[in-house]
Chain A
């Protein structure tokens, strides 16, 4: 979830609770501090505006008509946000690793493919469209997993990879698992 979500959500709920409490008193013809109720109203309106901004920053074309629809949208956004984090984590994993091969030209070729894959992951993670689903485990195990995929046994996962991440798929198809050293630069 975006870091501001819980705070803004809580802020709206708290403001609304206080405002509803004020309205309840009015309904029971009890005395209320009108200025205070107006402040609660303003606070609730501001919290609502903040939430709308957050939602629209992730899904610019989003629309909703009820709290249920809004909560469903927030849940969806949370998933998108997690998917983006996953892509960025894998991009970092790719950047952190190194490749070794007997031929310098092959290392250069693979470095170019890696660079394109990293760029693709970062672009897919940018705000705007919903990113495609990246199949497979978390970033630290992802390359090992992807290098073990083979046709025709893993056709479904490979199709998902290819259709969403063509450059990443190119990199993986060309990578042999013994060429990859995760995290630190390999000592040649």
Chain B
């Protein structure tokens, strides 16, 4: 489960566990602190509200009828958040690097393509639903991997890239590995 869903679900489950205890006591005709039970109800309702907001913020059209449906939805949200996070990490990696070339005009051109690729990644990460699949390894090795893709051997990965990320594909198609330099930040 995603780090965003986990605390809210835990909070809901804890509130419900306490309410269940209180319900058991009432069922056994034992006395309960009504004010405390009311607070537990309020906390459970608050957790439900947060969870519903989270679900609808990621999947606006989502509906569910029971806990199993909700858990399945949360699993889906987890995958969506993971995919978005991957896109944003790559966008940051692209922002972090630098283009070097013998000709200033080519650097300018490549910087424009890079900017378009970054905008595309950020837009895809903001869009509703599951973003397109980004093939390849994690962000820190992604550019090296993408620059080594060639046709026709890597046609499938290239097709996936092209289908989901036109600008990113254009950027890496135009990028030679020796042109890409990652800025190293040295700790002060």
Contact = CB atoms under 8 A, between A and B. Distances in A.
Interface of A: 102-106, 109, 148-151, 158, 169-170, 173-174, 176
B84 to A, nearest CB: 27
Interface residues of B, number: 15
A99 to B, nearest CB: 13
Interface stretch (B86-94, B99-107, B132-140): B99-107
B151 A103 contact: yes
Interface SS of chain A: helix, strand, loop or mixed?
A: helix
Interface string B155-183: 00010000000000010011010000000
B106 A174 contact: yes
B173 A151 contact: no
A106 B171 CA distance: 10
Interface in B59-93: none
29 contacts: A102-B148, A102-B149, A102-B150, A102-B151, A103-B151, A103-B158, A103-B173, A104-B151, A105-B170, A105-B173, A106-B173, A106-B174, A109-B174, A148-B102, A149-B102, A150-B102, A150-B103, A151-B102, A151-B103, A151-B104, A158-B103, A169-B105, A170-B105, A173-B103, A173-B105, A173-B106, A174-B106, A174-B109, A176-B176
Contacts of A106: 173-174
Nearest to A178: B176
A103 to B, nearest CB: 4
Q: Which 3 A-B pairs have the closest CB atoms?
A: A102-B150, A150-B102, A103-B173
A174 B104 CA distance: 11
Contacts of B104: 151
Contacts of A104: 151
Which of A103, A104, A105 neighbours the largest number of chain B CB atoms within 10 Å of its CB?
A103
Contacts of B149: 102-103
Nearest to B179: A176
A103 B150 contact: yes
Which of A102, A105, A148, A151 neighbours the largest number of chain B CB atoms within 10 Å of its CB?
A102
Which of B103, B104, B105, B173 neighbours the largest number of chain A CB atoms within 10 Å of its CB?
B103
A174 B106 CA distance: 7
Contacts of B158: 103
A8 B32 CA distance: 123
B120 to A, nearest CB: 16
Contacts of A109: 174
B184 to A, nearest CB: 24
B149 to A, nearest CB: 7
A184 to B, nearest CB: 22
A63 to B, nearest CB: 41
Nearest to B106: A173
Contacts of A173: 103, 105-106
Interface in B108-159: 109, 148-151, 158
A136 to B, nearest CB: 15
B136 to A, nearest CB: 15
Contacts of A158: 103
Contacts of B151: 102-104
Nearest to B154: A102
A163 to B, nearest CB: 13
Nearest to A174: B106
Contacts of B106: 173-174
Given A106-B174, A148-B102, A151-B104, 6 more contacts: A102-B148, A103-B149, A109-B174, A151-B102, A158-B103, A173-B105
Contacts of A169: 105
